[in-house]
Amino acid sequence: MQVLQSSIQPGKMIPNIAQLLQRNVKMFGDHIVYREKRNDKYENITWNKLFSDILNIAYNLKSHGFSEGDKMVIFSPNRQEMLELELAVMASGGIAIPIFAYFQQETAELLIKHSDARFLAVGGELQLSRLSDNLELKHIFVFDDNCKKHFVNQHPFKVLLAGNSDENIHLNTNALPDEICLCMYTSGTMGTPKCVQLMHKNILSQQAALSQIWSLNKYDRFLSYLPWHHSFGGIFELFTALYNGATISLESGYGKDPKTIFENWKSVQPTVFFSVPKVYQALIDLTQHDKEAEDLFFHTQLKFVFTAASALPKNLSDIFESRRIPVIEGWGLTETSPCCTLTDPDKKREQGVVGNPIPGVAIRIGEEGEIQVKGPNVMKGYYKNDEANIGIFTEDGWFCTGDVGEITENGLKLISRKDRIFKLSNGEKVVPSDLEKLIEMKCHYISFAMVVGSGKDYPVAILFPNKKMLERPNYQVTPLEGCFCPRSLEELGRCLHGCLHDANCGIGQKFAQIRAAMIIDDELSLEKGTLTPSMKVAPKSVASTYKAHVQNLYGDDSPVDEEIYIIRLDQLKDTVGKIFSTQNV
């Protein structure tokens, strides 16, 4: 069995988070570690101040009964208090458990109870309003000042920042590398989130590896919006900045508004930027026909941009390449904390190829093409989930990722999630992600494509339009020659017929080609559960929510609430479809 691994040896690993913090305060003392906007102006905090706050928090947590091994759930958006508390908990022998800041009450309480945490920290009134008094928590700390009292065991966060005169206060610098310090819940793309138990060595071995393959230092500037409850932002980006002493500036719009990001970009002038393709597209759109904005965004100090969650479309990648700004793509999972592979910025990017393993990590392909990983970055296991832990490691200790791929000349190539591959009624296997990627690449007026057909005679697709682009088409920017920038669902449907035909032709097996597609005038969202907190499609939820739509593509006549447009690809080319409203479906 072929094993893919780096010829480069990882650097020396720092054994635990406490020792990382001690090292950094000595090395970077008065250097700015973190910046956050208050009253529309960035305020700075140095390593000296951060470390002092962490010591106070650790001391005061202990006085509130927090002991080594105790758990602290943090239910908040990114902010300075969250950063300080999470680091203090991990550095004093506890386990930090960040969860998505905007979970509804049912999900938030489910995770808090499942974690067995005795302590909780929340951002403010919104999070407090989504909690009941049956959580059996010892203490609840609130970051926002002046929140009304909801619970008898509720305290303002400032009680943890209170200074003390104990000169013997110290962090747990003797923690072993394989002690658990962080639990992260997976985004739950295929069902209920799982609690991933991560150790000091998972986080810090990654930085020991990255230190050998890219050059970052205290003069680097990060503009950060990726949420810290998710591994891409909360481990990979955050600890890359912390480890190297770089300055993190919190993006005040949390990545939701491209114009706000751009305003912060002007102020920060980041030297590296971690993001997802959707945000890159929005930012590049703002630079079109504005030379000043273009020069500001693609500024000369920008070392590289990093993309994850999904591949950066070629048209965007080509724009960065034309400005000589490297695009690095990575692959990994929360269970691998998260980075396993990186692309080489000096090589031409290839669709689906996510590069080679970072130093110290090995990859092989197991049964049914499943990617398996071994290395110090791999989790200890799932917490309180015997079912999920069964078979997650092979007999010889390799982690089974659930991703299907192959080893190529240029590195690991991703094919699909194992649980998304389905069989047709004739037993043929279909890899839906192949066609989904082709459709999304062909037309950037489609936000999401989902190919389904398990147990059916042939596959079909449900498509979700980019409503903003339909409302404000850009006639100067088209993905392909001949695209006439549709302005409505019907125009998009007529335009798409040819693109879907071409996408079908890009699939070698005829049985895997779709025979029909439906554009649904709706958007996937967190609120509906069709997107995860990390903005990935939740396939099971989408399939359930739009079950009637899919059945209609197979001949049913069920009523649906949204305007739809059906495209039949198994009919004559000039029969492109029909638009329906709620009344006549």
DSSP 554: T
Report percent pLDDT > 90 for the chain.
76
Is 17-36+47-175 a domain of CATH 3.30.365.10? no
**Is 227 in a helix, a strand, or coil?**
coil
Across the beta sheet with 381-382, the strand order is 154-156, 139-142, 119-122, 71-75, 95-99, 180-185, 195-199, 381-382
| pLDDT tens per residue, range 478-529 | 555 556 678 888 888 888 888 899 999 999 899 999 999 999 999 998 888 8
Cα 461 → chain centroid: 25
- 572 band by pLDDT with thresholds 50, 70 and 90: very low
CB burial of residue 469 (10 Å; 0-12, 13-18, 19+): buried
Residue 188 has a pLDDT of 62
Q: Are 354 and 330 in contact (CB under 8 A)?
A: yes
- 192 band by pLDDT with thresholds 50, 70 and 90: low
Residue 476 has a pLDDT of 56
CA distances from 420 to 212, 436, 446 (A): 35, 12, 20
Q: Looking at the DSSP assignment, which residues form a beta bridge with residue 566?
A: 518, 578
Residue 576 has a pLDDT of 41
More confident residue, 309 or 298: 298
DSSP 454: T
Residue 216 has a pLDDT of 97
What pTM value is reported for the model? 0.87
Q: Are 249 and 224 in contact (CB under 8 A)?
A: yes
The CATH class given to the 1-11+201-420 domain equals: alpha beta
d(CA 307, CA 321): 14
CB burial of residue 109 (10 Å; 0-12, 13-18, 19+): middle
If you average pLDDT over residues 388-402, what whole number do you get? 96
Is 421-584 a domain of CATH 3.40.50.300? no
- Of the candidates 87, 92, 95, 98, which has an alpha carbon nearest to the alpha carbon of residue 33? 87
CATH 3.40.50.12780 maps onto the chain at 1-11+201-420
CATH 3.40.50.980 maps onto the chain at 17-36+47-175
| pLDDT tens per residue, range 523-562 | 998 888 898 877 788 898 999 999 999 999 999 999 999 9
Average predicted confidence (pLDDT) for the chain:
91
* Cβ-based neighbours of 318, under 8 Å, separated by 6 or more: none
The C-alpha torsion from 158 through 160 and 164 to 170, rounded to 10°, is -150
If you average pLDDT over residues 382-391, what whole number do you get? 95
CA distances from 29 to 50, 57, 160, 165, 356 (A): 9, 19, 22, 21, 36
Q: Are 78 and 254 in contact (CB under 8 A)?
A: yes
- 437 band by pLDDT with thresholds 50, 70 and 90: confident
Residue 536 has a pLDDT of 80
| pLDDT tens per residue, range 28-57 | 999 999 999 999 999 999 999 999 999 999
CA distances from 237 to 240, 275, 387, 434 (A): 5, 10, 31, 29
**Is 403 in a helix, a strand, or coil?**
strand
- 222 band by pLDDT with thresholds 50, 70 and 90: very high
If you average pLDDT over residues 347-374, what whole number do you get? 94
Residue 193 has a pLDDT of 79
Q: Tally Cβ neighbours within 10 Å of residue 378.
A: 25
